[in-house]
Amino acid sequence: MVAETVLNVENLIWPIFIGAGKGDPTPVDSMPGVLRVGLDRLPAYVEPAVKLGIPAIALFPATPASLKDSEGSEALNPNNLICSAARVLKREFPNVGLIGDVALDPYTDHGHDGLLRGDYVANDESVAVLSRQAINQANAGIDIIAPSDMMDGRVGAIRRALDEERLIHTLIMSYAAKYASSFYGPFREALGSGAALRGNKRTYQMNPANSDEALREVAMDIEEGADLVIVKPGMPYLDIVRRVHEEFRIPTFAYQVSGEYAMLTNAVQAGLIDRERGILETLLCFRRAGASGILTYFAVEAARLLRA
Ligand code: PBG
């Protein structure tokens, strides 16, 4: 009766890793409890989440190394893992929202989100490819395009490209405030983009010291046509979630990233934190900070707890 905020299943978005293999989903070593699933088992894997009422799923591909190259060409393949997964999921579960991550890192052999020219990621050339990647995903049935690459001007370019293709129902959920963070380690491990990563992403991701800059990034993305925005990572950046929510009143999502997941699960394994209470507390705190929803690897577990 006196709670100011509530956490509901409707607030949860589930990020999943799609692998090229067949058969039983395989464990992601860096994230205990997280699995990589092939296309054949995808419907069975996702069904419990849909039944629990999770409204949207974010898809990430574990692209085989043999398909990676310096230009990330596989991102434009209409039959790549994301597009194939989108078609399977749309057929089986037409009402679940599908979020497609737009960035080249799952497809490049150097692990960067854009195209490398010399030692740097070339912004404009990257934006052109990212726009084509977005179209490729939208044509396969992705409902929400989520550019996580942090190139300048990509939201506007993607919006124009979608309009030109008459993909007028596709939403853009921009990773507007994405920090150059140590908390992405286990995710890069899961995708195989970590070991390969040459250098770091600090020329295009944000400095953790900055908060006003986050507001400028969000303002630009909204101006360019973003419908929803993401702050990432989550827990160490709750102040940013709060500021973005207050300043713009646009649906603001927080991404509880792989390193946050690993921190909590490892603390649970060490017997230091109660798992169920820990999960629900972190998620509730995102809501308190102003998040409309949370992308979390705990989504299914949390949904079960909330429904119990
Ligand atoms: C990159 C991308 C990353 C994550 C989502 N999209 C990693 C990165 O920027 O290196 C991280 C998610 C997580 O850590 O859970 N396009």
- Evaluate whether 118 touches 125 at the Cβ level (below 8 Å): no
Q: Token digits for 44?
A: 């069975």
User: For 9-307, which CATH class?
Assistant: alpha beta
pLDDT exceeds cutoff 90 at 106: yes
Give tens-digit pLDDT for 110-133.
Answer: 999 999 999 899 999 999 999 999
Question: How would you class 263 by CB atoms within 10 Å of its CB: exposed for 0-12, middle for 13-18, buried for 19 or more?
Answer: middle
Residue 191 is predicted with a pLDDT of 80
Q: What is the percent of the chain where pLDDT is above 90?
A: 93
Atom nearest to 105 CA in ligand 1: 16
Q: What is the DSSP letter of 179?
A: B
Give tens-digit pLDDT for 157-201.
Answer: 999 999 999 999 999 999 999 999 999 999 988 887 777 788 888
Going by alpha carbons, the residue nearest to atom 5 of ligand 1 is: 148
Rounded Cα distance, 254 and 237, in Å: 9
The catalytic residue positions are 178, 232
Give tens-digit pLDDT for 240-299.
Answer: 999 999 999 999 999 999 999 999 999 999 999 999 999 999 999 999 999 999 999 999
Inter-CA distances, 77 with 113, 135, 188, 214, 284, Å: 17, 11, 22, 33, 39
Please identify which residue in the block is written with the tokens 């890793």: 17
Going by alpha carbons, the residue nearest to atom 12 of ligand 1 is: 257
For the chain, give every domain's residue range: 9-307
Give tens-digit pLDDT for 42-87.
Answer: 999 999 999 999 999 999 999 999 999 999 999 999 999 999 999 9
Residue 188 is predicted with a pLDDT of 86
What's the gap in Å between 258 CA and the centre of ligand 1? Answer: 8
* Mean of all residue pLDDT scores within the chain: 96
| Ligand 1 contacts CB of residue 34 (under 6 A) | no
Give tens-digit pLDDT for 218-233.
Answer: 999 999 999 999 999 9
Residue 228 is predicted with a pLDDT of 97
Residue 286 is predicted with a pLDDT of 98
Atom nearest to 187 CA in ligand 1: 14
